[in-house]
């Protein structure tokens, strides 16, 4: 690659990727768009696209190495049901249906099989970024999508190994058994060498070589493993993946990821740019409706299988639909695998270009499908919110009212239940209500920011009101409502952060606790003990910090509306706290020396 071509690639990526991310399309489509613009169908800045594509394939090798690093046995075991159950079902069922469709159109079974399995994969980078941007990674469909994508990443490796086996050239070998034994021996040699040599080699590089030698050692391992597999007729990605798996449980895993990530990111971006340059827009202009129909069929079939798999795995209908929409596209590994299939003469050039266009269009369609799904979900939730509030039993002895039965409220409820203290739990999320009731808990569906519901719940009979609502605005509104209409109640409120705590204290709540505050202090105390503090000193430090922090919270309330003064107050308080502990430490040392004398 010349300096002119390198500059064109970097400028195109710097412009296209941020724009694509801002529009919600993700970086992969940004790179593809950049490639189309600077390629043969755009500005024609690159002459030899195949040469660039061949160079950039090393980015996929590095990606597979990092995937291998992340596949710790303990992690795989914890997610085994989702990975090898839901994930395997999705890939195998989708692959079988797509392979059958390809054979129906006259393709040989070898080509149809590999096409079906490749199209069954989704875009890991694209989907995870999309879920993260919408804060959906921790949702039920987000967690299920993650396990399916993890299985698909693992499935890339056998697919890379399967392509040369199905390729016409593979059947022409004079000694297939010898080739198979050679490949098996190479894999075993890599595994054995990795177990006995890799860790000592990285220890030496880390101890004696410095930062740049450690990086060079990492690249030597990746390139050497890839080259070994290529020499015996297997894929370079398989060697890199195995090297990553062998180092997944090592102490160098995180440092290796940090060192390889920049190289992987740039080369992977170059690969997608090269794919964009090689995209045949002329083919789309010739047969646009055929390509659109194939894209729609791919997305519809994958979505249908994913919806069924999601429902069978226990997802509600709404979550299963979201799962189906977010994983219905083709994946970035399709570009790599189809290129390998083209090289192995499993597919022709025209079919390769057609499939690349279909995968690209399916990825472009995904953000629009996700937006449509979110609108359907909002409409569904709006219909659910019109569900009538539950009627609270009139003869219940309401000692405590708990508003919000999420993670925090459930712990409070369990303690009260253990002590036999009667309470009424109110929850505004109908899904959470149904979920909690499955375990035999009594909870009523209702919005605690509405006075009519609080009256219907007979709040006036209670002695205490616990506000454990997760939404900050709803939490503050509930406190204001209870304070105004039921002033006799003692209010115990959970705050998500310091700003929420200040807002609650401004409304004169009787007791405010920050969500992770106590557990953080408990961990800090145990950390001090582990570092050698005597129990008395560790306990005194935590108590002193807690008193100081409570005072600081009151000082922050006085300047809450002035951000500049708020920052200045916090900085001054941190200096005071450091001075306070430093003075106490000197006094303790002086007292110890006086005792010794």
Distance CA 139, CA 497 (A): 22
Q: For 45-54, 186-195, 421-430, 573-582, which range has the lowest pLDDT when averaged over its residues?
A: 573-582
Q: Which residue has the higher pLDDT, 409 or 84?
A: 409
Mean pLDDT of 326-349: 84
Which of 245, 215, 276 lies closest to 35, judged by CA?
A: 276
Helices (H), ranges, 194-315: 199-204, 211-231, 236-246, 253-278, 281-286, 288-312
Q: Which residue has the higher pLDDT, 4 or 320?
A: 320
Q: For 194-208, 274-288, 417-431, 560-574, which range has the lowest pLDDT when averaged over its residues?
A: 560-574
- Asked whether 99 and 115 are in contact (CB, 8 A), the reply is yes
Chain-centre distance for alpha carbon 495:
26
How would you classify residue 494: left for phi > 0, otherwise alpha for psi between -120 and 50, otherwise beta? beta
Residue 590 clears pLDDT 60, i.e. is over it: no
Which of 108, 162, 103, 168 lies closest to 345, judged by CA?
A: 168
Distance CA 493, CA 504 (A): 8
Which of 274, 338, 432, 384 lies closest to 118, judged by CA?
A: 338
Q: Give the model's pLDDT for residue 388.
A: 55
Question: Angle at which helices 109-119 and 349-385 pack, to 10 degrees?
Answer: 40
Residue 299 clears pLDDT 90, i.e. is over it: yes
> What residues have CB less than 8 Å from 86, skipping those under 6 apart?
144, 147, 148, 151, 309, 310, 313
Distance CA 180, CA 364 (A): 40
Tokens representing residue 490 in the block: 């003692």
Q: Give the model's pLDDT for residue 298.
A: 92
Percent of the chain with pLDDT over 70: 81
Q: Which residue has the higher pLDDT, 417 or 467?
A: 467
pLDDT in tens, 382-399: 555 555 555 555 555 568
Q: Give the model's pLDDT for residue 302.
A: 93
Q: Give the model's pLDDT for residue 574.
A: 54
Which of 544, 540, 477, 553 lies closest to 512, judged by CA?
A: 553
Which band of pLDDT confidence, cut at 50, 70 and 90, is reported for residue 297?
Answer: very high
Tokens representing residue 513 in the block: 């606790």
> What residues have CB less than 8 Å from 508, skipping those under 6 apart?
483
Q: How many CB atoms lie within 10 A of CB 325?
A: 25
Which band of pLDDT confidence, cut at 50, 70 and 90, is reported for residue 191?
Answer: confident
Tell me 72's DSSP state: -
Q: How many CB atoms lie within 10 A of CB 203?
A: 13
Distance CA 555, CA 552 (A): 5
Q: How many CB atoms lie within 10 A of CB 60?
A: 25
Q: How many residues does the chain have?
A: 597
The enclosing H or E element of 511 equals strand 511-514
Residue 596 clears pLDDT 50, i.e. is over it: no
- Asked whether 431 and 406 are in contact (CB, 8 A), the reply is no
- Asked whether 313 and 85 are in contact (CB, 8 A), the reply is yes
Q: For 73-82, 119-128, 244-253, 560-569, which range has the lowest pLDDT when averaged over its residues?
A: 560-569
User: CA triplet 9, 13, 18: central angle to 5 degrees?
Assistant: 170
Mean pLDDT of 85-109: 89
Burial 101-136, CB ≥16 within 10 A → b, else e: bbbeeebeebbbbbbbbbbbbbbbbbbbbbbeeeeb
- How far the first Cα of the chain sits from its last, in Å, is 76
Taking the alpha carbons of 163, 164, 168, 170 in that order, is the dihedral positive or negative? negative
Q: How many CB atoms lie within 10 A of CB 485?
A: 13
Q: Give the model's pLDDT for residue 587.
A: 47
Residue 463 clears pLDDT 50, i.e. is over it: yes
């Amino acid at each position: 690659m010349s300096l002119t071509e390198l500059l064109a690639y970097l400028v195109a990526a710097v412009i296209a990727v941020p724009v694509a991310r801002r529009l919600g399309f993700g970086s992969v489509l940004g790179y593809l768009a950049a490639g189309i613009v600077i390629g043969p169908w755009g500005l024609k800045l690159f002459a030899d696209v195949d040469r660039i594509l061949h160079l950039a394939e090393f980015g996929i090798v590095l990606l597979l190495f990092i995937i291998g690093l992340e596949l710790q046995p303990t992690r795989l075991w914890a997610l085994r049901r989702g990975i090898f159950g839901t994930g395997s079902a999705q890939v195998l069922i989708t692959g079988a249906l797509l392979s059958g469709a390809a054979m129906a159109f006259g393709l040989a079974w070898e080509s149809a099989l590999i096409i079906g399995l490749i199209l069954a994969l989704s875009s890991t980078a694209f989907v995870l970024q999309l879920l993260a941007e919408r804060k959906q990674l921790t949702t039920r469909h987000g967690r299920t999508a993650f396990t399916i994508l993890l299985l698909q990443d693992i499935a890339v490796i056998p697919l890379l190994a399967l392509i040369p086996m199905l390729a016409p050239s593979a059947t022409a070998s004079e000694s297939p058994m010898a080739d198979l034994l050679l490949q098996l021996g190479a894999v075993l040699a890599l595994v054995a060498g990795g177990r006995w040599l890799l860790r000592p080699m990285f220890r030496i590089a880390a101890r004696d070589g410095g930062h740049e030698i450690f990086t060079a050692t990492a690249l030597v391992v990746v390139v050497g493993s890839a080259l070994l597999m290529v020499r015996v007729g297997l894929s370079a990605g398989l060697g890199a993946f195995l090297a990553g798996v062998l180092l997944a449980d090592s102490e160098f895993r995180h440092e290796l990821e940090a060192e390889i990530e920049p190289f992987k990111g740039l080369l992977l971006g170059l690969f997608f740019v090269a794919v964009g340059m090689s995209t045949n827009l002329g083919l789309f202009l010739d047969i646009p409706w055929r390509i659109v129909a194939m894209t729609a069929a791919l997305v519809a079939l994958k979505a249908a299988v994913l919806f069924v798999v999601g429902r069978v795995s226990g997802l509600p209908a709404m979550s299963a639909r979201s799962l189906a929409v977010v994983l219905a596209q083709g994946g970035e590994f399709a570009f790599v695998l189809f290129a390998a299939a083209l090289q192995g003469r499993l597919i022709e050039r025209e079919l390769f270009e057609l499939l690349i266009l279909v995968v690209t269009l399916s990825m472009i369609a995904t953000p629009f499908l996700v937006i449509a799904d979110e609108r359907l979900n909002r409409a569904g939730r709006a219909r659910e919110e019109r569900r009538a509030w539950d009627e609270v039993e009139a003869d219940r002895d309401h000692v405590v009212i708990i508003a919000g039965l999420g993670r925090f409220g459930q712990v409070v409820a369990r303690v009260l239940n253990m002590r036999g203290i009667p309470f009424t739990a109110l929850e505004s999320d109908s899904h959470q209500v149904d979920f909690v009731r499955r375990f035999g808990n009594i909870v009523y569906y209702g919005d605690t920011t509405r006075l009519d519901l609080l009256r219907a719940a007979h709040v006036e009979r209670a002695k205490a009101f616990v506000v454990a609502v997760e939404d900050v605005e709803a939490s503050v509104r509930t406190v204001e409502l209870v304070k105004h209409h039921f002033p006799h109640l003692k209010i115990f409120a959970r705050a998500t952060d310091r700003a929420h705590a200040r807002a609650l204290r401004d409304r004169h709540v009787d007791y405010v606790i920050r969500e992770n505050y106590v557990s953080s202090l408990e961990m800090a105390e145990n950390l001090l003990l582990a570092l050698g503090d005597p129990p008395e000193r560790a306990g005194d430090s935590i108590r002193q910090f807690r008193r100081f922090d409570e005072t600081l919270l009151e000082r922050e309330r006085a300047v809450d509306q002035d951000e500049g003064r708020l920052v200045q107050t916090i900085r001054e308080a941190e200096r005071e706290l450091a001075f306070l502990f430093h003075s106490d430490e000197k006094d303790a040392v002086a007292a110890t020396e006086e005792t010794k004398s």
